[in-house]
Chain A
Amino acid sequence: MSQPPMREGQVERRIVELSKERRHAKGRGRRRQERTALKGEGILMASDVQAAAPTGVVLSVRDLSVSLPEGMERAYAVENISFDLKRGQILCIIGESGSGKSVTANAIMGLLPKAIRVSSGAIHLDGTNIVGLSPDKLRSLRGRVVSMIFQDPLSALNPLMTVGAQIEEVMAAHDVGTPASRRSRAIDLLTEVGLPDPPLMYHQYPFRLSGGQRQRVMIAMALALEPAILIADEPTTALDVTTQAQILQLIRDIQRRKGMSVMFITHDFGVVAEIADYVVVMEKGHCVEQGSAEQVLKSPSHLYTRRLIAAVPHLTGKDRIPREASDRASVLKAEGLVKTYRSGSALFGTQRIVPAVNGVSFDITSGRTLGVVGESGSGKSSLGRLLIKLMECDSGSILFEGRDIAGLSEAEFRPLRPKIQMIFQDPFASLNPRSTVGHILTVGPVAHGMHYSEAAERARELLSHVGLDAGAFDRYPHEFSGGQRQRIGIARALMFKPRLLIADEAVSALDVSIQAQILKLLDQIQRETGVSMIFITHDLRVASQICDEIAVMHRGQIVECGPPSQIFLDPKSSYTRELVAAIPGEQPASTPEHADFGPHHNRGETL
């Protein structure tokens, strides 16, 4: 590992770290190396650096280790991590799933589950070490000095309390103000987080609000006691891209206005680029790199950071190089598809009618990929389900290889099923946990009359083709990671040699580095087999990587359809423009050079 040249500030920080570390006497091999490296550079270490928290540092984490109970895959959730959050800064902690970033946040909040505990290290909040503090003292700090917002605002808010009551509860719990002052403060807060009509909002229940509004309420609750530090644990991950942009803007605004310090946890480098002042990169419980946002994003020094940044999908702004195909026969042509959801009872007048897909038409030719992009509720997933006839459409026609399949009954359509296959979103829910991988792959073909031994042979072949060991055949899905499961899902869809693959958010649940691998695999499969693909996603960046053409859906309709270059660089509809503008961390004009999958993806790393 090559050490980058250190700048002055960094050296200072290192000294502080190292002297602290010496006190805790937890010399690890790598650290010791660094220490000798420092000595080699001729820097004298202060024997006793008293100023553990230099002025301007509100939160200082030193050599924090959190141990996991026995029998977990590793002994520590986080091991020996140190970082500082300066006053008035936004610190981003970035890492993939299982990197320990949420555990770090919960340790700071004193909210770790009983089974895992801080085994060593210190967390200084405004100068006081909170490790080992009594629950009462911790509780008085929470909300007042440091507060937190969560990923899923719906489950973080109490469904049975009005928004206003929940904000007041925070103040009441800390004996702040009188009922009247709390009430006016709550309305002020609702105004501050940009909710429309605060006095009305005050009386609303969480279920009445949209996801973005709920997150705003969470932020208002977190701000109620004017904490010095706000911890945001993936606060925008569950939100649509346009809402995400608004929430990021709000957090940034509030942070500037109040001079608050924010610790922002995310897995998305786009978000980091958008708001971070300082970045800590975590991998498997270790802090692998930290530095200013500029430095980490522009010239990452650690291999892992470089890999992560390389794996982040970018808007290419370029079109995909088309396969040299002889025929451009139409594979599927949808015309005027309509699907309306009805709930409640028409009899009692309680019926709710939601048009999910409203007059959608498109055409897809062989060997091409059509991206269907839209926010949640745009009807893109319903469209996918209609095409594969997991749901019946109300009207319209689906011409598959010239034959209208829209009106076919399940029995009539069954012989055609092998030709249209789907890759599902959730790699954990889409494989039957009680079946072996071999069974999952072969059961379909066997039901269609293929001999078991032939199906098994093809399954083994495909498993190695999608990058899994043939030994996977006899294993159960729970023995695989998310990325590996998605590969199994892809193998299942390929068992029949389909003409059309529908990928419904096929990479949304995966970490970026694995996302890149799966996209590459899909691309490779298409080039080999000439299968047509409908790629449904909410992520424009991902769509731009793999699609020949992109259809933007909004409220059940296709508002715009065209090649990626046109969609991203010259969007015609205002909605598309809004979507493109909301993508965190980049502008289409400043797109990096790699339009296709560059050599940096060919790593064959383990998932």
Chain B
Amino acid sequence: MTTIVAYAAPTRWWHSRAVHRFLRHHLALAGIAMISLLVLACIVGPYALPYDMLYIDLRARFASPLSGHHYLGTDPLGRDLAARLLMAGRVSLLVGFSAMLLSTLIGTLVGVTAGYRGGWVGAALMRTVDGFLSYPSIFLVLALAATLRPSPAMITVIIAVTSWMETARIVEAEVRSLREREFVQAARMVGLSRSHIMFREVLPNAIGPIIVAASLAVARAILLEAYISFLGYGIQPPLPSWGNMLNGAQQYLASAPWLAIVPGAAITIAVTSFNFIGDGLRDALDVRDDHT
């Protein structure tokens, strides 16, 4: 038997069209750059700054930005705003990321199961999703946060359990269409178990939409954390978060506006960056674009 060798050139993922499309998406690249900067600053920044975030300098209360060694000014207790902002960033970003991971995990599990199983199992799961969605999520979050002890971990869980539904819906729709593909029938033909087919054969093919949903979920989680903390039910001082920094800034809005502007800007930058990344990923991973 003659051997036939005529493969296409070997391709690696970074040569793929999706990556090329993503690299052409300038806003998404800007988003990536901003997030990288922000994360890096939050990790290294507190060590590089001259002041600790808890150091109280009563002589320098309400110092305005760029005065002396306080780059972003100080708060009513004379604590360095830059140090607090970066430490708050650690908390807010960490809560955002963990909530995203958790909600993506829940959403994916529910979505794959509902999409692949279909029938009454799928119907029951998706109606649960509908139930969660029909409840105003901010209210749900606040109700939960008011009754439970608001540690960062608890806030993460609260955000995750109120924001997994979107992922579930996306994954369910994707899996339902994948289920009909011949490779899934082929997997059944060779006798693979249902869970193997669901999580090892089908799920990897739905990874694109999941990534997109996840990147948008981070943005939403950061925003949600800011809401709760701003309203006083979230991360509790002295541990700073962008949300509770805003809360503290309320009463000095007229006299020391930078107290609100600085954490507000951080939230805006983080959220818009993640949204840009999400948009870029969605454009890059949308296979329908392949034909045009």
B52 within 8 A of A: no
Q: Does A467 contact B (CB under 8 A)?
A: yes
Contact indicator B1/A464 (Cβ below 8 Å): yes
> Is B4 interfacial (CB-CB < 8 Å)?
yes
Pair A447/B4 contact, Cβ less than 8 Å: no
User: Contacting A475 at CB < 8 Å: which of B10, B190, B200?
Assistant: B10
Stretch at the interface among A352-360, A413-421, A576-584: A413-421
In this assembly, does B201 line the interface, its C-beta being within 8 Å of a C-beta of chain A? Answer: yes
Most A CB within 10 A of own CB, among B4, B187, B196, B207: B4
Q: Is B55 part of the binding interface, using a Cβ–Cβ cutoff of 8 Å? A: no
Number of A-B contacts (CB under 8 A): 106
Which of A565-589 touch B at CB < 8 Å?
none
Partner of B4, one of A444, A445, A467: A467
Contacts of A434 in B (CB 8 A): 204-205, 207
User: A432-B205, A479-B8, A606-B4 in contact; A444/B191 too (CB < 8 A)?
Assistant: yes
Q: Hey, which chain B residues are within 8 Å of A469, CB to CB?
A: 3-5, 7
Determine the main DSSP class of A at the interface with B: loop
CA distance A443 to B192 in the complex (A): 8
B10 to chain A: which residues have CB within 8 Å? 475, 479
Check: B147 CB closer than 8 A to any chain A CB: no
A484 in the interface, Cβ–Cβ < 8 Å?
yes
Complex CA distance for A468 and B5, rounded to whole angstroms:
7
CB distance from B283 to the nearest CB of A (A): 17
Check: B193 CB closer than 8 A to any chain A CB: yes
Also in contact, A430 and B182, with CB within 8 A (given A475-B7, A606-B6): yes
A604 proximity list for chain B (CB < 8 A):
2, 4
How many interface residues does A have (CB within 8 Å)?
Answer: 47
Q: Report if B69 contacts A (CB, 8 A).
A: no
> Min CB distance, B202 to chain A, in Å?
9
- The reply on A129 being an interface residue by CB < 8 A is no
What 0/1 pattern do residues 417 to 441 of A give for CB contact below 8 A with B? 1100110111001111111000000
Q: Is A465 an interface residue (CB 8 A)?
A: yes
Question: Chain B's nearest CB lies how many Å from the CB of A194?
Answer: 34
Task: Write the nearest CB–CB distance from A475 to chain B, whole angstroms.
Answer: 7
How close is A455's CB to chain B, nearest CB, in angstroms?
Answer: 11
Contact of B186 among A73, A113, A430, A496 (CB under 8 A): A430
B181 at the interface (CB under 8 A from A): yes
Closest Cβ of chain B to A520, distance in Å, is: 11
**B252 an interface residue at 8 Å Cβ cutoff?**
no
A484 touching B182 by the CB < 8 A rule? no
Contact with B along A379-418 (1 / 0, CB 8 A): 0000001001010000000000000000000000011011
CA distance A481 to B9 in the complex (A): 12
Q: Is A182 an interface residue (CB 8 A)?
A: no
Contact, CB under 8 Å: B191 / A467? no
**Whole-angstrom CA separation of A246 from B191 in the bound complex:** 44
* Known contacts A434-B204, A480-B8, A607-B6: A447-B182 contact under CB 8 Å: no
Indicate the member of B182, B185, B190, B200 with the most A CB atoms within 10 Å.
B190
**Which residues of A lie under 8 Å from residue B11 when comparing CB positions?**
478-479
CA distance A567 to B201 in the complex (A): 42
| A492 at interface by CB-CB < 8 Å | yes
Binary B-proximity of A436-467 (CB < 8 A = 1, otherwise 0): 00000001110110000000000000001101
Interface size, B (range): 20 to 34
Given known A-B contacts A432-B201, A447-B191, A480 and B186 have beta carbons under 8 A apart = no
Determine if A468 and B205 form an interchain contact, defined as CB atoms under 8 angstroms apart. no
Provide the bound-state CA to CA distance between A422 and B11, in Å.
29
CA distance A467 to B3 in the complex (A): 5
Q: Which residues of B contact A432 (CB under 8 A)?
A: 183, 187, 201, 204-205
| B189 at interface by CB-CB < 8 Å | yes
Docked pose: A397 CA to B85 CA in angstroms: 73
User: Are B2 and A472 neighbours in the complex by a CB distance under 8 Å?
Assistant: no
The CA-CA distance from A73 to B8 in the complex, in Å, is 9
Which A residues from 473 to 488 make CB contacts under 8 A with B? Answer: 475, 478-481, 484
> For residue B187, which residues in chain A have a CB less than 8 angstroms away from its CB?
432, 443-444
B188 interface residue (CB < 8 Å to A): yes
Contacts of B190 in A (CB 8 A): 417-418, 421, 443-445, 447, 492, 495-496
B4 touches A468 (CB 8 A): yes
Evaluate whether A431 and B7 lie within 8 angstroms (CB atoms) in the complex, with A417-B191, A418-B191, A604-B2 already known: no
B291 and chain A: residue at smallest CB distance: A113
Chain A residues closer than 8 Å to B1, beta-carbon distance = 464-465, 467
Distance from A114 Cβ to chain B, minimum over Cβ atoms (Å): 9
Residues of chain A lying within 8 A (CB to CB) of residue B7: 469, 472, 475, 479-480, 484
Complexed CA–CA distance, A447 and B221 (Å): 40
| CB proximity of B107 to chain A, nearest CB, Å | 20
Kindly list chain A residues whose C-beta atoms are within 8 Å of the C-beta of B191: 414-415, 417-418, 444, 447-448
Interface residues of B in 156-210 (CB under 8 A from A): 181-183, 185-193, 196, 200-201, 204-205, 207
> Are A388 and B189 within 8 A (Cβ)?
yes
Q: Inside 8 A of A471's CB, which chain B residues have their CB? A: 5
Q: Is the CB of B205 within 8 A of A433?
A: yes
CA A435 to CA B11, docked complex, whole Å: 14
Which residues does chain B contribute within 8 Å of A443, judged by CB atoms?
187, 190, 192, 200
Nearest Cβ on chain A to B189's Cβ, whole angstroms: 5
A417–B187 CA distance with the chains assembled, in angstroms: 11
Partner of A424, one of B3, B8, B182: B182
CA distance A467 to B6 in the complex (A): 11
* Across-interface contacts of A445 in B (CB, < 8 A): 190
List which B1-32 residues lie within 8 A (CB) of chain A: 1-8, 10-11
Residues of A within 8 A of B193 (CB): 447
Complex: chain A residue closest to B200, CB-CB: A443
CA distance A499 to B62 in the complex (A): 84
Q: Give Cα A262 to B282, complex, Å.
A: 44
* Bound CA span A468–B2, Å: 9
List the A side residues contacting B292 at CB < 8 Å: 113
14 A-B pairs (CB sep. < 8 Å): A417-B189, A417-B190, A424-B182, A424-B186, A431-B186, A434-B205, A444-B187, A467-B1, A468-B4, A475-B7, A479-B7, A484-B4, A495-B190, A606-B4
Additional pairs, 5, CB under 8 Å, beyond known A113-B292, A390-B185, A425-B182? A435-B204, A443-B190, A444-B191, A469-B4, A478-B8
